[in-house]
Homo-oligomer: A and B are copies of this chain.
Amino acid sequence: MDSKQFREAAISSIDDIVKYYDTIEDRRVVSNVEPGYLRKILPEEAPQTGEAWADIQKDLEAKIVPGLTHWQSPNFLAWFPSSSSFPAMLGEMYSTAFTGAAFNWICSPAVTELETIVMDWLAKAFALPPCYLSTGPTNGGGVIHGTASEAIATVLVAARDKYLREATAHLTGGNEEEEEAREDAWAERRGRLVALGSAATHSATKKAAQIAGVRFRAVPVHAADGYRMTGAELRRVILELRARGLEPFYLTATLGTTDTCAVDDMEGIASVLAELSPPGGPDGEVWVHVDAAYAGAALICPEYQHLAEAFDKFHSYNTNLHKWLLVNFDCSAVWVRDRRHLTEALSVSLAILRNPHTDSGLVTDYRDWQIPFGRRFRSLKVWFVLRAYGVDGLRAHVRKHIKHAEVFAGLLKTRPDLFEIVTGPRFALTVFKLAGDGKEGSTVEEQNALTKTMYDAVVEDGRIFLSSTVVGGVFAIRHNPATPFVEEHHVRKHFEILVEVAEKVLFKA
């Protein structure tokens, strides 16, 4: 394929993509292929000789598209959204064309520099404390990772090594024997370390602890607190662990939990840790990372920015721009208050990478801020989105969804015979269940079974796609209308479908 053929193929692909977006609402939102469908219709081996683009493109429509779940459909309400926008798509087009591994500054200075700049722009737009700015007072700064799970694994490793470094500061290393003594001390101490997160935080923290080779313990959450982690529960868990000789060194505080969009008590957490693990104290400092993967997008609006007030006492923060801020997957924005903790944990150097710029200390080598070595030019799509929408446009986008969820919750309340809200709406997420089974004194198990029957019927029906969860023992359904093209009339239609199916389940039984 030469550049002329590429131009033709690309324009035909653009036409295809425009058509896909223009008609996305008419497609069944969730794919209904059977597991293994694709192997049956593709060859056993790669073709020996090249094929024409037209044939490949035809197969894409015929064989791949039926196996897609349409995340940009206004009827996609499951998990959290993974948003898409035309400016971000253009960003990806250019980024792909300019492709390179971009592991250090000279690999393409613009890749590093634009990333630092848009991360500062975003920190300001979210009203994060100045310690997260690259130009701030604490050597902070931002970096773009792929996903929140990478962000959490990365900062957890940095937190682990910061804790161990501080705990063994008296072992200075130097010669080989001293280095080994330090290595032994780290190994012994590492075995006692515990990473914490609330019972409602995303599994990413537990997985990060598995990766880093440390223990994980969940801080319980309670319905009475709206499923948010409180300072009191954190205090209890830390003291219990210490009493058993273990050392909590890291905490994920969540702004918008996956199940219910609960926000942990940030002030309470900060105050407990100021008491139990002050910097330089005898027990070591607990690193606090705030995971705001989805709900952090709301900080673009001044009415939510008070949520960030306590963050100047914490160590790192992440928001996935690909969830709710119109940047196509993947794009997790991560900030740290002191970048040296990342580079001290993750830097390794090879002669082949050395160049005058790296040695000058003037440039950022982002490979030392992350797990992967090479990097994509992700800041380009962020820059395009920030410029094409402006801060005002992004605020309008978030507020639109918040309003949709309020409309939806209002509708649920008009049918107390059918539905009961479990939590929300919070950040455009409403969690609800069937109101009962019409019989007095039905058990939670019976009610759960009924809501599950209804949920399965909705998925089977295929007009809308939601996810389910279990909150405080209650099986519940999540409605999260935060995809870019969803409008109020869609939300009203979602409600009608839910009523239709609920009535069938409740009154047919």
Contact = CB atoms under 8 A, between A and B. Distances in A.
B13 A105 contact: no
A232 interface: no
Contact of A48 (B13, B71, B330, B392): B392
A348 B203 contact: yes
A210 B156 CA distance: 12
Contacts of A14: 6-7, 10-11, 14, 93
Q: Is the interface of A mostly helix, strand, loop or mixed?
A: helix
Contacts of A42: 117
Nearest to A85: B1
B67 A330 contact: no
A93 B211 CA distance: 33
Contacts of A478: 352
Interface stretch (A281-289, A463-471, A497-505): A463-471
Nearest to A362: B35
B348 A207 contact: yes
A50 B389 contact: yes
Contacts of A214: 213
Interface residues of A, number: 149
Given A90-B10, A348-B210, A352-B467, A18 B35 contact: no
B82 A100 contact: yes
A191 interface: yes
Nearest to A43: B121
Given A14-B14, A82-B100, A330-B376, A105 B468 contact: no
Interface in A106-124: 106-111, 113-114, 116-118, 121-122, 124
A406 interface: no
A236 to B, nearest CB: 17
Interface stretch (A146-154, A303-311, A420-428): A146-154
Interface in A88-134: 88-90, 92-94, 96-101, 105-111, 113-114, 116-118, 121-122, 124-125
B371 A3 contact: no
B391 A470 contact: no
A-B pairs, top 4 by smallest CB distance, nearest first, are A67-B110, A187-B191, A213-B213, A71-B100
23 contacts: A3-B22, A10-B89, A13-B90, A17-B93, A17-B97, A35-B357, A35-B363, A38-B114, A46-B386, A46-B387, A46-B390, A64-B380, A69-B108, A71-B98, A71-B99, A71-B107, A83-B99, A191-B191, A203-B350, A210-B346, A213-B213, A330-B374, A330-B376
Given A1-B86, A46-B125, 19 more contacts: A1-B87, A2-B86, A10-B90, A10-B93, A11-B11, A17-B97, A35-B105, A35-B360, A46-B391, A50-B393, A53-B388, A66-B110, A68-B98, A68-B109, A72-B99, A82-B100, A146-B146, A187-B215, A352-B468
